[in-house]
Amino acid sequence: MDIIRHDDGSLTIPVAPAPQPENGTGDAPPVAQPSSSTLRPGEGGYIEALAAWDAQQHPDRGASVSTASGREEAMSVVHAVAEDPKHVADAVDALDDANASAEALRHVLVGGNPSVQAFASEVAEAEGGDELAPHTATKIIGQVLAEIDARPE
């Protein structure tokens, strides 16, 4: 089962079934079927699941590399979407190099929660305004990556 990203930013992830104890009769225990769970921004494991979802979208892509210009634009686009969440496409349109910004955002996700918190602080310092909560920054990063990835190359 693949990870599924929903429009609200939530992710449906596969969950491995728990091992079944032997039933004492010597018969093999029934095979449990895999199930799924839904994670929302801010919940434990969400950032890691979002990074896994992003990697799932492009399995042939190598490790993310963040450039200074890509990170600056990434901060700008996250700030723009935080200010006006209904215009993600417009914010992405304003990027000079959407791919460099996407790589910078992926690099933030790979670092997990501490990286997202540090990035949210950098966005507030560079762009002004209040610092985003890490779960809000993560949700915005997911929206921006989904918008960039939906565009033809």
End-to-end CA separation in angstroms for the chain: 27
Instruction: Assess if residue 21 is contained within a domain.
Output: no
Instruction: Assess if residue 106 is contained within a domain.
Output: yes
- The domain of 102 spans 68-149
DSSP-derived secondary structure letter, 12: E
Distance, in Å, from the CA atom of 142 to the CA atom of 108, rounded to the nearest integer, reads 11
Instruction: Assess if residue 42 is contained within a domain.
Output: no
- Per-residue pLDDT band for 48 (boundaries 50, 70, 90) equals confident
Residue 121 phi, psi dihedral angles, 5° rounding: -65, -45
Instruction: Assess if residue 143 is contained within a domain.
Output: yes
Domain count of the chain? 1
Instruction: Assess if residue 105 is contained within a domain.
Output: yes
- Per-residue pLDDT band for 54 (boundaries 50, 70, 90) equals confident
* pLDDT score, position 138: 93
Mean pLDDT is lowest, of 33-47, 79-93, 101-115, 129-143, for: 33-47
Instruction: Assess if residue 86 is contained within a domain.
Output: yes
Residue 113 pLDDT more than 90?
no
Instruction: Assess if residue 77 is contained within a domain.
Output: yes
Distance, in Å, from the CA atom of 99 to the CA atom of 74, rounded to the nearest integer, reads 10
